[in-house]
Amino acid sequence: MDRQTLDMEGARRGEITPASLQLGDDTIAIQRIATMSVESMEFAPWDTETNRRTKSLYASFFVISLFFGLLALAWGGLFPGSGSSMIALIVGCVLTLLAVILGVRAAMFARRMKKRQPYYRLVIGASDGRQIPLVDDNRAVLLRIRDIVRHKMDSGEREVQGDFDLDLDLVNISKPNETRELTSEVPSSEEVEGSSKAEAEVLFDEPSGDLRSVT
């Protein structure tokens, strides 16, 4: 059976550059992004044109085989004593068996084509009216990409760049190291403890020096 994949529903690979966002074959300037939304969708991977034609052929041959098979069985049953009745019974049994096989195949195709597979898509809308979907079956990955693009839009930081491949579940995007800057400005507990000990020693030594000078 023919099967379609998520690649037919939207982009699966992309790249974030200092000033633009590449999604598949489409490029959007970061400043031209108007909307971003994560949506829950469904698609039928087996509902293709080839499978629909195959199911129709199986169903058509099922009806034809069943009709002539029952007709042959009826002929053999009406004239049991003639020589042609045995041949009609054999042909009727073969055609009926063939109709059963074709009917089972048609039912399998119909059941498989009705199967739905959930997925998610990140729809990025540009100011020129374009809407480019980025699709994956993992919602968390799409939310991460959306948050990174939104941070880049809000902050304007050109250092945020990288690429991603959802077929391999890889998101290789560098982020601004804000936590490192914050931790470098805040002194550690050991430094605070050491400075408090030094101040205590200074406060303790100064009065003793004054007392010696007075005596």
Name the token pair of 159. Answer: 């250092």
Query: Residue 14 pairs with which residues in a beta bridge?
Result: 23, 164
Q: What is the pLDDT along the chain (215 residues), one digit of tens a residue?
A: 777 777 777 888 889 888 889 888 888 898 889 999 999 988 888 888 888 999 999 999 999 999 999 998 888 888 776 767 888 888 999 999 999 999 999 999 999 999 888 889 999 998 888 888 999 888 888 998 888 888 888 888 888 888 888 888 788 876 655 433 323 333 444 444 554 444 444 434 444 444 344 43
Name the token pair of 8. Answer: 């037919």
> Looking at the structure, do residues 33 and 128 belong to the same domain, yes or no?
yes
Strand order in the sheet with 131-136: 33-43, 117-126, 131-136
CB distance 11 to 26 below 8 Å: yes
Residue 9 CA to residue 188 CA, distance in Å, equals 51
> Looking at the structure, do residues 94 and 54 belong to the same domain, yes or no?
yes
pLDDT number for residue 123: 92
- Choose one of 113, 132, 165: the last residue of a domain: 113
Which CA distances in Å does 132 have to 33, 73, 121, 129, 154? 11, 60, 10, 10, 20
Q: How many domains does the chain have?
A: 3
- Choose one of 66, 90, 113: the last residue of a domain: 113
Q: Which domain holds residue 54?
A: 49-113
> Looking at the structure, do residues 101 and 147 belong to the same domain, yes or no?
no
Residue 162 zone, left/alpha/beta (φ > 0; ψ -120 to 50; rest)? left
In a domain, 129, yes or no: yes
CB distance 123 to 26 below 8 Å: no
Answering whether pTM is above 0.85, one says no
> Looking at the structure, do residues 120 and 108 belong to the same domain, yes or no?
no
> Looking at the structure, do residues 40 and 123 belong to the same domain, yes or no?
yes
In a domain, 181, yes or no: no
The vertex-120 CA angle with 117 and 123, nearest 5°, equals 140
- Choose one of 86, 113, 140: the last residue of a domain: 113
> Looking at the structure, do residues 124 and 25 belong to the same domain, yes or no?
yes
> Looking at the structure, do residues 41 and 120 belong to the same domain, yes or no?
yes
